[in-house]
Amino acid sequence: RSDVFNFGVLLLEIVSGRRNTSFYNNQYALSLLGYAWKLWNEGNIWGLVDKVILEFELDSKNEKEIRRCIHVGLLCVQEYAKDRPTMSTVVSILNSEISNLDTPKQPAFIETPLMTHDVENKVSLNDVTLTNFDGR
């Protein structure tokens, strides 16, 4: 099931043209998974799609395939392995052999709060005396 997870990440990276290690939010460091999940819940999956695809490749057939890829990607990266489809199921879904898809659940590893600290500038000064002894 870890291969299914990685495949889901790869699908989302391809559709978005972005790496999973990028950050997408000012308050939280959202991974690509977190960003995709946020847009999915907002009903704005087209905000995830690479602008090149949106400008040059989008037609009704591609739109359906892109929507399916995002859906499958999110199914593959669900937090609990038991909720993820098998690779054979993924292949069937992508080949349009399965049309009724489950609703994805929250992915694993979606956000990490950014740590901010107010740091005071404290300076300490230590004096050191070096003595060099020379032999006769």
- The domain tally of the chain equals 1
> The tokens 């609703």 sit on which residue?
103
- What pLDDT was estimated at residue 134? 75
Residue 20 forms part of a structural domain: yes
Q: Which residues contact 98 (CB under 8 A, 6 or more apart)?
A: 89, 92
- What pLDDT was estimated at residue 113? 46
Do the beta carbons of residue 15 and residue 66 sit within 8 Å? Answer: yes
Q: How far apart are CA 75 and CA 107, in angstroms?
A: 8
Instruction: Find residue 111's DSSP bridge partners.
Output: 30
Residue 89 forms part of a structural domain: yes
- What pLDDT was estimated at residue 96? 85
Residue 135 forms part of a structural domain: no
- What pLDDT was estimated at residue 28? 60
Residue 21 forms part of a structural domain: yes
Of the CA atoms within 13 Å of residue 136, those in its CB half-sphere come to 0
Q: How far apart are CA 90 and CA 102, in angstroms?
A: 12
> The tokens 């993924």 sit on which residue?
90
- What pLDDT was estimated at residue 19? 86
Residues recorded for the chain? 136
Instruction: Find residue 113's DSSP bridge partners.
Output: 28
Residue 127 forms part of a structural domain: no
Q: What is the CATH number of the domain that holds 41?
A: 1.10.510.10
Q: How far apart are CA 130 and CA 89, in angstroms?
A: 73
Both tokens of residue 28? 């939280």
- What pLDDT was estimated at residue 43? 94
The DSSP secondary-structure symbol of 46 reads G
pLDDT means per 10 residues, the chain with 136 residues, are 87 92 66 90 93 80 89 95 94 87 86 47 63 72
Residue 101 forms part of a structural domain: yes
Do the beta carbons of residue 39 and residue 45 sit within 8 Å? Answer: yes
- What pLDDT was estimated at residue 111? 61
- What pLDDT was estimated at residue 97? 81
Range of the domain at 40: 2-113
Residue 130 forms part of a structural domain: no
- What pLDDT was estimated at residue 100? 86
- What pLDDT was estimated at residue 24? 64
